[in-house]
Structure 1
């Protein structure tokens, strides 16, 4: 392990590279990263860094977002098979059909989507700003893609009509209300913090609903000493680093994303050595997708 870490550090200097890791990555990957965060934070960091090469320890749509915002940099995804079932639940052809059915609706596209879907949308959003993005739009009908649970969560906080795409995160969808109630009975002093990709009945029963960054911040600032966490297990590493005096319990044993666990230190070393696999969004798609992201950032 030490030899691999040393090799990565040497290759980083040679390639003028930085390593960005999502909060759901393996502990060792998070530890070696120059920056950890949620998907949008990783893209913003990629755009702002002076490094020439960005190793994106996450899944494909995140690497694509980095390519959209930082077209002048080489974006490497350590495992080319690291995809996202939620992002794969929508394609351009399907979105165009939906737009034809609802011509008066604005298309709000969750950042967890392929680049060409972003290019076909009016504006992007993240789990932390989805409500603000929808409220900012003048249209009264919103075609919200692709996560139906996030769409349901947004609908609770706006008077606009939300038309959801029937996609979802397999990992977050595994959490049930029964599991939440059982966990709460086992840890009655714990606050329940969940991601808005969870089922509506789970988010309705939680004490706090937010993105990974928001969950980490809430846990750090809360006076509570125990927390039940309803998002992918990789976040526990960061939670414990930030708040070592507090206790964290995973809400469900099913909260493991196999795609997020594909990245390893060995794969990071190999991609830096070979400068592959590279993710590069075609310029015609990138420009339109950038517009959707830029409109979100303006809000």
Structure 2
């Protein structure tokens, strides 16, 4: 049996087992192409959280990283949530612990805590709002201006939100995603020099996002060609834009979907090495094993889930 035939056979088995178990397959935009192609719902963190909250499936197979599966489990305590590889973690989520947040809150007892969805369940449980890159600005704007804000854990997204909202009473945790932080201004400069007509799509977690915003405000980067967007909005923009070339400053996995949706356009990664190893851990074989053997069930302690759920539901309802 050839490799293509083997792959096709595994996909057929996955479809059969999904029917047997009344399962839904959710996948993030950074997953392997073969996982993206079989997903029932493909999207960014916000889209997947909404899908998890709305599904009537009995089993949710989450092709993403651990905090995403935790979020799905908290929204669906009566359902079985499976993460095909337990090692699929997140460097950004690891950049702040619940104890660190408790200490930070103690220093600012009246502050509202806004936690990026890339955090553990324990951190979410100590937060007032969760957010994703697509609605972080809307969430901060919904908070009364006289309220102090603690924004965590991504410093690049926090800087973007602060600049967009003009909130001076906003404190930002100094965390980062090691993959996005590795997309530096010089990478963007090099690719822009080679492709001067291309539109620039920048994820707000990127190390180049702050400089891109500054360069836009100074007129060095053209505002009509530079866009700070979540992964979901990058996909929407690339479909709607009349441009033929795009420089993409985020994890390279999203380019598969962009190219698939826009075969006549060209997508160039700002940094070809921007690959998240955690997002590439889940394979077709692991998805099949998860469905057949109930691997690996993700649960969250009831008390933690109850406290975190309000922050997550606020995230889903805004933006």
TM-score between both structures, scaled by the size of structure 2: 0.91
Residue 18 of structure 1: how far off its partner (Å) = 1.1
CA contact (8 A) 2:26 2:42 kept: yes
1:115 alignment partner in structure 2: 121
Verify: 1:284 aligned to 2:291, yes or no: no
Matches of 1:43 and 1:275, distance apart in 2: 21
CA contact (8 A) 2:244 2:266 kept: yes
CA contact (8 A) 1:151 1:164 kept: yes
Matches of 2:36 and 2:110, distance apart in 1: 43
1:157 alignment partner in structure 2: 164
Residue 204 of structure 1: how far off its partner (Å) = 4.0
CA contact (8 A) 2:49 2:316 kept: no
Match 1:195 to one of 203, 206, 213: 203
Q: Deviations over 1:50-105 (max 9, x none)?
A: 11001000000000111111222100000000000100111110000000111122
- Counterpart of 1:157 in 2: which secondary structure? helix
CA contact (8 A) 1:232 1:257 kept: yes
Matches of 1:157 and 1:177, distance apart in 2: 20
Matches of 1:248 and 1:230, distance apart in 2: 10
1:21 alignment partner in structure 2: 27
Matches of 1:149 and 1:159, distance apart in 2: 15
1:92-111 mapped onto 2 (5 Å cutoff)? 92-111=98-117
Verify: 1:209 aligned to 2:228, yes or no: yes
Verify: 1:56 aligned to 2:75, yes or no: no
CA contact (8 A) 1:180 1:202 kept: no
- Counterpart of 2:164 in 1: which secondary structure? coil
2:279 alignment partner in structure 1: 260
Tell me how many residue pairs correspond in the alignment.
299
1:1-299 mapped onto 2 (5 Å cutoff)? 1-138=7-144, 139-160=146-167, 161-199=169-207, 200-205=210-215, 207-299=226-318
Residue 9 of structure 1: how far off its partner (Å) = 1.2
- Counterpart of 2:61 in 1: which secondary structure? strand
Matches of 2:213 and 2:250, distance apart in 1: 11
Unaligned runs of 5+ in 1: none
The structure 1 segments of at least 4 consecutive aligned residues displaced by more than 6 Å after TM superposition are none
- Counterpart of 1:156 in 2: which secondary structure? helix
Q: Deviations over 1:167-222 (max 9, x none)?
A: 10100111111111110010111011010001211454460011100111111111
Residue 128 of structure 1: how far off its partner (Å) = 0.9
Unaligned runs of 5+ in 2: 1-6, 216-220
Residue 140 of structure 1: how far off its partner (Å) = 3.4
Structure-2 change in CA distance of 1:183 and 1:47 (3 Å): same
Matches of 1:40 and 1:74, distance apart in 2: 20
CA contact (8 A) 1:26 1:234 kept: yes
Residue 135 of structure 1: how far off its partner (Å) = 1.2
TM-score between both structures, scaled by the size of structure 1: 0.97
Q: Which is further off, 279-288 or 184-193?
A: 279-288
